[in-house]
Structure 1
Amino acid sequence: MRTDYVFTSESVSEGHPDKVSDQISDAIVDLFLSKDPEARVACETLTTTQLVVLAGEIRCKGVYENDAWAPGALEEIEQTVRDVVKKIGYAQDGFHWETLEFINRLHGQSAHIAQGVDAAGNKDEGAGDQGIMFGFACDETPDLMPATLDYSHKILQRLSEDRHSGKAPFLEPDAKSQVTLRFKNGEPVAATAVVVSTQHQEGYDEGEKENELKSYVRKVVTEILPEGFVTDETKFHINPTGSFVIGGPDGDAGLTGRKIIVDTYGGAAPHGGGAFSGKDPTKVDRSAAYVTRYLAKNVVAAGLAKRCTIQVSYAIGVSEPLSLYVDLHGTGTVSEEALEAALTKVAAEKLGGLTPRGIRVGLGLNKPIYFQCAAYGHFGRKPEGDLFPWERTDLVDDLKAALG
């Protein structure tokens, strides 16, 4: 494992076209789970100039049953979509929450998928798909996340807060950030480059207004990064292409699931390839990625390693995972083999195992908690009430006990 290097991660704001799509898809998941905790949802969203299209497969009591929509369901879905766009802040000629065209192409779940996933007789609930999922944690930040991604998220969150509050009225919803840090002895010590591209109102691309925007962004970056990280050698690239007035779905089409690295670990850890947003928690692309983050975070929080990667794999329709793999990247105080056994034991005792049912019941995932995840990362967030249960560190003592 290298100890001295330079590494970069990026983030995108809630107004980025792909993130608009993710948030709409997860708002639909929340809507259906609020009606039926056992709802099945696979919702994809396309956004472009003055248009939102939904597509995918669903099953939900009181909303869509026996190949028919319940009275008022279609109207509620459309209102949910418009409310998301309004909340983000899009009221522009090219993308307006009130006047955009909406097309709904959601339909019933395939019976062939349902028969593999649903519990029946002596058969437990199976995984909603085959695949591999990864969880990761490291001690670079208090949230046990890669520092480059953590700061990239937080820069954009601050811009969003200031836009919504009116503190930075010249900002518009679409934005991207990128943070490059220098690491010494495995620890982040300085920012070598920061890139921020933010949509803005007319006129903020030249003269005094441009200087106002760029000064504001530099101030935010300096406040977000740890003291001393920004130096005279830090390179700033703020709106490097020039004007950024046309943005969001009007500037570029958005699709659910295209920001999977932003959603997870910023490239600092492997990714299994499956997106999260728009999927109910029987889909292990989502639930297994959450539980492996939960386990990895508790490993690092327990002081058992400075870095931890966990992989699990599943077959569609099969309840038990096919494999569990742990890599401590040479930073562990215990062996990976011993930790794999301890994690299996603790997961069985505290969650009911690493089956799809064990994960979603043990973590309380059958709740409308997903819209809050769909921008600024699914990991490294503060667990509050039902939100972000996979960010808890309540397995620390159990892991230590299981390892003797």
Structure 2
Amino acid sequence: MSRQSYLFTSESVSEGHPDKVCDRISDEIVDLFFREGPKAGIDPWAIRAACETLATTNKVVIAGETRGPETVTKDWIAHVARMAIRDIGYEQDGFHWDKADIEVLLHPQSADIAAGVDALQPGDNKEEGAGDQGIMFGYACNETPELMPAPIYYAHNILRDLATARHKKEGDAALLGPDSKSQVTVRYENGRPVGVTQIVVSHQHIKEDLSSKQIRDIIEPYVRKALPAEWVSKDTVWHINPTGKFFIGGPDGDSGLTGRKIIVDTYGGAAPHGGGAFSGKDSTKVDRSAAYAARYLAKNVIAAGLADRCTIQLSYAIGVAKPLSIYVDTHGTGKVDEAQLEKVLGEVMDLSPRGIRTHLDLNKPIYARTSAYGHFGRAPEADGGFSWEKTDLVDAIKKAVA
């Protein structure tokens, strides 16, 4: 039996963290291709993007493989990157949206990879293969209303609230810069989160001579608002800008790369990760789409009341449509047999790449918004964003296991 009383810590990073700047740029380019492809008469199913970004002092390099409209030029891509950097808020000497040198090295998708993805499966002239081999995990639990682990959920909320205040220039929050990190240590008793023992926030500031105490005075109200009031006590230990000054931030302070914050993007370490990053990839890449599908299924299992915790693993081979395996673990909290769930979940949703893209409506420009504060635990949006957070399979799953 798993431990019932323990401490668990998760971290988040803001939209201005160097790696997240790169994730944002990469996902903006995916959105650009999905947005402009149909205008040029290209079927969204034919769009391909695998886009990686490197950022350092006033330099951005964008590389990867694409298939899409010729109207999307390198100059347009560079402009989209600049607008993303400006929206995040970088106008500092060492990293400025208007002054940075942006190099675009995108080229057409490999014919060998394209052949595997586009290969039609035997007996079905509409089914493509997976864009790569790999394993993907999804997870859900009933610790928060959004069915996410508490530590990562609250770590995200702290930084999202601070970013909102910074963008709105609310009082002294206007003195905060784009780059920040949070970390929350949650105390569990009898398997449930009950309090916070340690809070860490390191936040860039645009006025150089601010002290850690001054930063704490700005930040603490937002941290307290983001956490359940009863979780913060006199015994909670605070670490606000523990090294002191944090004036130089973003890619000028530390280089960034797409795909280096995969645990921040998912479950904060509370669940396994298959290893593949999400940002910069179109929905043929099962690293992304199948991870979304696994979260979707796990969340619906929890929402159906069939378990308190649920981990789902899917596996794929490049060029092959159907998943090689479906694995379900309810961690001793399940109310139905896990083998039965494995069978049922493969029946209530088509888990081929085309099936996932159809069911979750993924051939859309909905990805830039996922690039910070987590891909999971967000509210489904009217235009199809975060469709994998819906709980519309609850009735079908309940009926299938009855």
TM > 0.5: yes
Cα deviation, residue 121, structure 1:
7.7
* Alignment correspondent of 1:402: 400
Q: Secondary structure at the match of 1:300?
A: helix
Aligned residues with identical type, % of pairs: 61
Which residue identity does 1:161 align to in structure 2? T
Kept in 2, the 8 Å contact 1:29–1:280? The answer is yes
Q: C-alpha separation between the residues in 2 aligned to 1:202 and 1:33? A: 39
* Alignment correspondent of 1:67: none
* Alignment correspondent of 1:30: 31
Q: C-alpha separation between the residues in 2 aligned to 1:158 and 1:186? A: 28
* Alignment correspondent of 1:93: 93
Could you tell me the TM-score, scaled by structure 1's length? 0.94
The within-5 A match list for 1:235-384 is: 235-347=237-349, 353-384=350-381
Q: CA RMSD in A?
A: 1.1
The correspondence for 1:127, drawn from 124, 127, 130, is 130
Name which of structure 1's ranges 122-131 and 311-320 shifts more when overlaid on structure 2.
122-131
* Alignment correspondent of 1:52: 60
* Alignment correspondent of 1:392: 390
Cα deviation, residue 91, structure 1:
0.7
**1:84-129 per-position Cα deviation (integer Å, ceiling 9, x unaligned):** 0000000110000001001011111110000100144856200000
State yes or no: 1:41 paired with 2:49: yes
Could you tell me the TM-score, scaled by structure 2's length? 0.95
Q: C-alpha separation between the residues in 2 aligned to 1:364 and 1:133? A: 19
Cα deviation, residue 265, structure 1:
0.2
Cα deviation, residue 392, structure 1:
0.2
Q: Secondary structure at the match of 2:268?
A: coil
**1:176-216 per-position Cα deviation (integer Å, ceiling 9, x unaligned):** 0000010001111110000000000224533xxx5332122
Q: Secondary structure at the match of 2:174?
A: coil
* Alignment correspondent of 2:152: 149
Cα deviation, residue 301, structure 1:
0.5
Cα deviation, residue 223, structure 1:
1.2
Kept in 2, the 8 Å contact 1:170–1:204? The answer is no
Name which of structure 1's ranges 369-378 and 117-126 shifts more when overlaid on structure 2.
117-126
Q: C-alpha separation between the residues in 1 aligned to 2:119 and 2:304? A: 35
Q: C-alpha separation between the residues in 1 aligned to 2:63 and 2:76? A: 16
Which residue identity does 2:36 align to in structure 1? K
Q: C-alpha separation between the residues in 1 aligned to 2:302 and 2:4? A: 18
Q: Secondary structure at the match of 1:271?
A: coil
Q: Secondary structure at the match of 2:10?
A: strand
State yes or no: 1:197 paired with 2:202: yes
Q: Secondary structure at the match of 2:20?
A: helix
Which residue identity does 1:369 align to in structure 2? I
Kept in 2, the 8 Å contact 1:54–1:104? The answer is yes
Which residue identity does 2:250 align to in structure 1? G
* Alignment correspondent of 2:40: none
The within-5 A match list for 1:10-21 is: 10-21=11-22
Kept in 1, the 8 Å contact 2:120–2:129? The answer is no
Q: C-alpha separation between the residues in 2 aligned to 1:383 and 1:2? A: 33
Q: Secondary structure at the match of 1:228?
A: helix
Which residue identity does 2:217 align to in structure 1? S
Which residue identity does 2:148 align to in structure 1? M
**1:5-64 per-position Cα deviation (integer Å, ceiling 9, x unaligned):** 10000000000000000000000000001122221100000000001100111111x22x
Q: C-alpha separation between the residues in 1 aligned to 2:157 and 2:106? A: 34
Kept in 2, the 8 Å contact 1:53–1:104? The answer is yes
State yes or no: 1:160 paired with 2:168: no
Q: C-alpha separation between the residues in 2 aligned to 1:219 and 1:274? A: 36
Q: Secondary structure at the match of 2:231?
A: coil
Kept in 2, the 8 Å contact 1:204–1:213? The answer is no
Summarize the Cα distance change of 1:90–1:173 in structure 2 as closer, same or farther, 3 Å threshold. Answer: same
* Alignment correspondent of 1:350: none
| Structure 2 alignment gaps of length 5 or more | 38-43
Which residue identity does 2:93 align to in structure 1? D
Cα deviation, residue 345, structure 1:
1.4
Q: C-alpha separation between the residues in 2 aligned to 1:34 and 1:119? A: 25
How many aligned positions are there? 388
